[in-house]
A and B are shown apart, each in its own frame.
Chain A
Amino acid sequence: MPALAGKELRIVGFLCNWCSYGGADTAGVGRFSQPTDLRIIRVPCSGRINPLFVAKTLLSGADGVLVSGCHPRDCHYAEGNFYARRRLEVFKRFLPTMGIDPDRFEYTWVSASEGQRWQKVVTTFTEQIHKLGPAPRFGFAHEQNPATAAAC
């Protein structure tokens, strides 16, 4: 499924079900208009997110990845977002080593009541990604090797 040619870039969001997913819902209910690039994958907790998911997403051709969970101390599962914060902070520092611009990845905290904040987060991040442009494609050419393309 290609991103809408010329208009959109491929941005993937991993959102905690209890806070940020709800915040995105609240933004929708409030009709806070947002760029259409972002595709949201719902997870139970930001602590569920293995940083390798983000790496995999970026290496598979996404132009940006956004992770959002509950504000620290306000985790539905008591402490999941503390783990997320540590993992993602360390992970962010490794991105340049992998040849990925760290600005293509962001993690943030949005509660279920913060619809307006969510609108701002999405808009700012999408603008940031559009400024960076499409991510450079990594070595393996899909058209030459359909097996690799299917596996990624």
Chain B
Amino acid sequence: MKIGVFVCHCGSNIGGTVDAARVAEASREFPDVVFTSDTMYACSEPGQDGIIQAIKDNQLDGVVVSSCTPRMHEPTFRRTVERAGLNRFMFEMANIREHVSWIGKDKEANTNKAIELTGIAVEKLRRDQPLFAKQFDINKRVLVIGGGVAGIQAALDCADGDREVVLVERESTIGGKMAKLDKTFPTVDCSSCILGPKMVDVAQHPKIQLYAMAEVEEIGGYVGNYEVKIRRKAPYVNWDLCTGCGLCMEKCPSKKSTDRFNEQVGSTTAINIPFPQAIPKKAVIDPKFCIKLTKGKCGICAKICPTKAIVFDQREEIISESVGAIVAATGYDLFDISKYGEYGGGRLPDVITGLQYERLLSASGPTGGHVKRPSDGKEPKTIVFVQCVGSRDKSVDRPYCSGFCCMYTAKQAILTKDHIPDSSSYVFYMDIRSPGKMYDEFTRRAMEEYGTQYVRGRVSMIYPQGDKLMVRGADTLMGTQVEVEADLVVLAAGAEAAVGAPQLAEKLRISYDKYGFFMESHPKLRPVETNTAGVYLAGSCQGPKDIPASVAQGSAAAAKVLALFAKDKLENDPMISLVDMKRCVGCGKCVRVCPFGAIKEIDVRGEPKAEVIETVCQGCGLCTATCPQGAIQLSHFTDNQILAEVNALCQL
């Protein structure tokens, strides 16, 4: 075998702390290596051309590139060697950037380490075999999880691309957080006026199947062929019959139900339609508050319903769907403001979240768009906004910036002045973060045109005095203490991962960070892809995002789905397990251990043997570690290859 080794300087990224030329020179000593060189940027066009030329000039059978992480450029270089006529699996990479040059400054130690890592790559390559992909069919339906603005955009774009979409929404209506907003920054557009038509499009699109009040229960399968189980909760109303007339809401005697849509500002009836523009516009009974379901009496809604749609004994159901790709768009939830005991959130009725304030401002909200204090219904004259409640604060384990709070606070200050012209607003802030088109101009308008008082500093405590709230804080620019007598305090609660996000990530087999946000494949270059093929991300489930970014990601995820579906067949990753029939004793351990059901028992001349279904195998190698005979081997990660790497490191 003839092996070529290419050591990349990566500018000064590797070259700065690793002597790349010495790595190339030392690599000549490795068995089967006939050619080595060091190159400035192996991934650049001249770098790749150099590799191709060297393969041709030296009749190389395999290539090792020592550069960055294979998670970054392995596909790039596989294509390079393929262009030179080699099988793309006759290639190995040594990671001498992320694992060497970037984590230490000792050039001597780094160079030695880089040589060793190159050495184990050579040993692995010496035992590589050419591998060939198999083709398999693809189911061109897509599942979108979450019906907020990102999910809506992804669903509509996929459906417009003529693909069937299954949209699953946990609440009884789609629209997500955006549907709760009164206006949007920086244009002060009416939120429901711009989202509403999109929601209607979802309802009417012949390619979209919407499951509201439903959650993903189980996900099996792999890219192109996912099997999904969806748990649909019982609304206690036959939605095929319900016309959304709202008569039941008028007559329902249980009027103290939790109003989730209005962020618990006020209460609603036990049977309710969350808001007038709800999609689907169907009634739902809250079983915790329904008198019939809790006490067995009442049933007024059933008597009054003109279509006889009420079904008190409805049960939840499990629906199975087959899809080829999945878009996760599960959004965010708000930080629990009661964790700041000194602010009195959850204890003092007039300390509310920004989203609750949106409902007070909204014409379709519980107060009909008249700003009233929750405690006594009076119109507030002095309003204090406190920013960064649950963001940029290590003490509550939320060190990240929620991103959009600065902007919505400015918007709310502007709207407050519009609603109550003789009011005055104060904003306590740490920094104003307003990067975005027309964003900074917007915050300036809040200050200059609308006379909002911006105070740079943190609030230390909020306490009631008479029917007022005393807000005590620091003005760090003036170097003084400030006390404001407020009628209403609005806390800009930070965004955190949606409830249940980690559990969903585990079902999707994607990574999530310690806060529960889903992890993208690459923070810069693959922002909507995950490391699980066929699973994409959109919106705030990946990290806090404002509406334009969420919409952009929804469209981006849809583009990825449509590109995947543009092919009629998908190619499997040929790094899969294969059975050596002579060694297999038919014990069936591999069959039982395989998480994908990719191994079946077959009969070979009266003896049981294992066989791998090549397009189903995902290449985890669990079977290889289980087989007592070493008969089933994961291609490209065989026992011999891994042990050869160990030997290369341990030859003393």
Interface pair A113/B646, CB less than 8 Å apart: no
Closest to B106 in A: A36
Task: Please state if B649 and A76 are interface contacts (CB–CB under 8 Å).
Answer: no
- CA distance in complex: A39, B106 (Å): 16
Q: Pick from A27, A48, A79, A111 the residue with the most CB of B within 10 Å.
A: A48
Let me know if B109 and A47 touch, CB within 8 A.
Answer: no
Main secondary structure of the interface of B (DSSP, over half): helix
Q: Pick the contact of B622: A48, A73, A112 (CB < 8 A).
A: A48
A114-B69 Cα distance, complex, nearest whole Å: 16
CB < 8 Å: which of A24, A47, A60, A112 contacts B511?
A: A112
Known A4-B109, A76-B509, A112-B511; judge A44-B620 contact (CB<8 A): yes
A83: CB under 8 A from chain B? Answer: yes
Q: How far is the CA of A102 from the CA of B97 in the complex (A)?
A: 31
Q: Once the chains bind, are A53 and B643 in contact (CB under 8 Å)? A: yes
Complex Cα distance, B430 from A34, in Å, reads: 34
Asked if A1 meets B646 with Cβ closer than 8 Å, knowing A24-B98, A39-B117, A44-B620, the reply is no
Of chain A, the residue at the smallest CB distance from B651 is: A1
- The answer to whether the Cβ of B238 comes within 8 Å of any Cβ in the partner chain is no
Q: Does A2 contact B (CB under 8 A)?
A: yes
CB proximity of A112 to chain B, nearest CB, Å: 5
| A27-B99 Cα distance, complex, nearest whole Å | 8
Which of B346-354, B355-363, B512-520 forms contacts with chain A?
Answer: B512-520
> Smallest CB–CB gap between A133 and chain B, Å?
15
Residues of A participating in the B interface, judged by any CB pair closer than 8 Å: 1-2, 4, 7-8, 10, 12, 17-19, 21-22, 24-25, 27-29, 31-36, 39-45, 47-50, 53, 56-57, 60-62, 70, 73-80, 83, 87, 111-114, 119, 142, 149, 152
Q: Which of A1, A77, A113 contacts B519 (CB 8 A)?
A: A113
B112's partner among A4, A27, A43 (CB-CB below 8 A) is A4
Say whether A79 contacts B595, CB under 8 Å: yes
- Residue of A34, A47, A75, A76 near B625 (CB, 8 A) is A47
Contact with A along B64-83 (1 / 0, CB 8 A): 00000111100000000000
Interface stretch (choices B274-282, B405-413, B634-642): B634-642
Assess whether B506 is interfacial by the CB under 8 Å rule. Answer: yes
Q: Please tell me if the beta carbons of A18 and B511 are within 8 angstroms of each other in the complex.
A: yes
Bound-complex Cα distance A56 to B509 (A) = 31
Contact B511 A41 (CB under 8 A): no
Q: How close is A81's CB to chain B, nearest CB, in angstroms? A: 10
Say whether, besides A34-B104, A41-B646, A56-B643, A19 and B511 are in contact (CB < 8 Å): yes
Query: Are B509 and A44 interface neighbours, CB within 8 A?
Result: no
Which residues from 482 to 507 on chain B have a C-beta closer than 8 Å to any C-beta of chain A?
Answer: 505-506
CB-based contact A47/B514 at 8 Å:
no
- One of A10, A21, A28, A36 near B649 (C-beta < 8 A): A10
> What is the bound-complex CA distance between A17 and B643, given in angstroms?
17
CA distance A132 to B595 in the complex (A): 39
Knowing A44-B637, A47-B622 touch, does A78 contact B509 (C-beta < 8 A)?
A: yes
- Asked whether A48 lies within 8 Å of B595 as measured between CB atoms, the reply is no
Q: Indicate if the CB atoms of A34 and B103 lie closer than 8 Å.
A: yes
Contact of B646 among A12, A45, A48 (CB under 8 A): A12
Bound-state Cα–Cα, A22 to B513, Å: 12
State which of B509, B626, B651 has its C-beta within 8 Å of the C-beta of A149.
B651
Query: Any chain A CB within 8 A of the CB of B116?
Result: yes
In Å, the complex CA distance between A57 and B650 comes to: 7
Q: Which residues of B contact A76 (CB under 8 A)?
A: 509, 531-532, 620
Size of B's binding interface in residues, CB under 8 A: 59
**Least Cβ–Cβ distance between A49 and chain B, in angstroms:** 6
- The 8 lowest CB-CB distance pairs between A and B, nearest first, are A28-B98, A48-B621, A60-B650, A77-B620, A113-B513, A28-B102, A47-B622, A36-B109
Whether A12 contacts B622 in the complex (CB less than 8 A), given A36-B104, A78-B595, comes out as: no
Q: Which B residues, 530 to 575, have Cβ-Cβ distances below 8 Å to chain A? A: 531-532, 575
State in angstroms the CA–CA spacing of A113 and B618 once bound together.
23
Residues of A within 8 A of B99 (CB): 24-25, 28, 40
A-B contact pairs, 10 of them (CB 8 A): A1-B649, A18-B531, A40-B99, A40-B117, A41-B645, A44-B634, A50-B639, A60-B646, A76-B509, A111-B512
Q: Which residues of B contact A2 (CB under 8 A)?
A: 652
B95 at the interface (CB under 8 A from A): yes
- Report the Cα distance A56→B72, complex, angstroms: 31
Chain A residues with CB under 8 Å of B649's CB are: 1, 10, 12, 39, 41, 57, 62
A152 neighbours in B (Cβ, 8 Å): 647, 650-651
Q: Do the beta carbons of A73 and B652 come within 8 Å of each other?
A: no
CA distance A7 to B95 in the complex (A): 22
Interface flag for B397 (CB, 8 Å): no
- Are the CB atoms of B651 and A43 closer together than 8 Å? no
CB distance from A122 to the nearest CB of B (A): 8
Which residues of A sit under 8 angstroms from B645, Cβ to Cβ? 41
Not counting A29-B102, A142-B652, a sample of 19 additional A-B residue pairs whose C-beta atoms are within 8 angstroms of each other reads A1-B116, A18-B531, A24-B98, A25-B98, A28-B98, A34-B103, A44-B620, A44-B637, A45-B622, A48-B620, A48-B622, A57-B646, A57-B649, A61-B650, A79-B622, A83-B593, A111-B513, A112-B519, A112-B531
- Nearest CB of chain A from residue B577's CB, rounded to whole Å: 10
| Residues of chain A within 8 A of B102, CB atoms compared | 28-29, 31
Closest Cβ–Cβ distance, residue A82 to chain B (whole Å): 10
Q: Which of B71, B116, B506, B512 contacts A17 (CB 8 A)?
A: B71
Q: Which residues of B lie under 8 Å from residue A28 when comparing CB positions?
A: 69, 97-99, 102-103
Does B624 belong to the interface (CB within 8 Å)?
Answer: yes
Are B120 and A7 neighbours in the complex by a CB distance under 8 Å?
Answer: no
| CB of A97 to closest CB in B, whole Å | 20
Q: How far is the CB of B117 from chain A (nearest CB, A)?
A: 7
Contact of A7 with B103 in the complex, beta carbons under 8 Å: no
Q: How far is the CA of A60 from the CA of B108 in the complex (A)?
A: 25
**Residue in B70, B509, B648 with the greatest tally of chain A CB atoms within 10 Å:** B509
- B646/A53 in contact, CB under 8 A: yes
Q: Is the CB of A8 within 8 A of B109?
A: yes
Q: Is the CB of B621 within 8 A of A73?
A: no
CB distance from A24 to the nearest CB of B (A): 6
CB proximity of A105 to chain B, nearest CB, Å = 14
B110 on interface, CB distance cutoff 8 Å: yes
With A12-B650, A32-B103, A39-B116 known as contacts, the answer to whether A74 contacts B512 (CB < 8 A) is yes
Interchain CA distance A44-B637 in the complex, whole Å:
8
Name the one of B105, B512, B622 contacting A33, with C-beta atoms under 8 angstroms.
B105
Is there an interface contact between A77 and B652, defined as CB atoms closer than 8 Å? Answer: no
Q: Collect the chain B residues with CB atoms within 8 Å of residue A83's CB.
A: 593, 622, 625-626
A22 and B531 contacting across the interface, CB-CB below 8 Å:
yes
Give the complex CA separation of A70 and B69 in angstroms.
18
Q: Which B residues touch A149, using CB under 8 A? A: 651-652
State A39–B643 Cα separation when bound (angstroms): 14
CA distance A70 to B511 in the complex (A): 9
CA distance A31 to B650 in the complex (A): 28
Interface residues of B in 585-637 (CB under 8 A from A): 593, 595-596, 618-622, 624-626, 634, 637
> Is the beta-carbon distance between B95 and A48 smaller than 8 angstroms?
no
Which residues of chain B come closer than 8 Å to A56, judged between CB atoms? Answer: 643, 646
B147 contacts partner chain A, Cβ-Cβ < 8 Å: no
- CB <8 Å contact, A60 and B505: no
Given contacts A12-B649, A48-B634, A50-B625, contact A80 B620 (CB under 8 A): yes
